[in-house]
Amino acid sequence: MSEERDERRDGELNGDAGDVVAGRVTIKQGGARSVRARDVSIRQGGAVRLEADSVEVTQGGIVLTRADKVSLTGGGAVAVVAGQVELKASAATAVLARDEAELEQAAAGVLVARSAKVTDSAVGVLIAQRVEGANIRVLFGWREALAFGAAAGTALWLLSGFARARR
């Protein structure tokens, strides 16, 4: 049975919760399956799915976040979709920022943003109009990703042709 909390006032959760809808949610040393709120703060906890105006996570984890502003410190995320994203000493598989993404001692598998400010961080694939920073380790920029995709597509096409010829 699913536990659902619908509170229009501020709420603080300790322990685990199911689905939470509130104006302001604070999760300490616990987790939630789904959170919809204006402001969400997570300290040493996590959530599977977050939808909010502002999200702040310290030593926690998120699977999927959609927000206007996301700040992740000492934590991890699978996918972050936001207007502004800030990762400090954190890791994320995919970061999609409409405006600005800022990474400091962080790692991202894929980073797509209008503007990226990256310091002492590693990024697998980086796609941005403007990039500034220092000590950035990028595996693929947009040119490398395009070349890799073309080479991989050609290799798969050739392999499928050989497989058909053997039949």
Per residue in 47-92, pLDDT (tens digit) is: 999 999 999 999 999 999 999 999 999 999 999 999 999 999 999 9
pLDDT in tens, 35-45: 899 999 999 99
φ/ψ region of 18 (left if φ > 0, alpha if ψ in -120 to 50, else beta) reads alpha
pLDDT in tens, 90-122: 999 999 999 999 999 999 999 999 999 999 999
If you average pLDDT over every residue of the chain, what do you get? 86
- SS3 for 63-126 is EEEEEEEEEEECCEEEEEEEEEEEEECCEEEEEEEEEEEEEECCEEEEEEEEEEEEEEEEEEEE
How crowded is residue 49: how many other Cβ atoms within 10 Å of its Cβ?
Answer: 16
Is the pTM of the predicted complex or chain greater than 0.85? no
8 A C-beta contact, residue 93 and residue 77: yes
pLDDT recorded at residue 8 = 41
Question: pLDDT category, 13, cuts 50, 70, 90?
Answer: low
Helix (H, G, I), strand (E, B) or coil at 3: coil
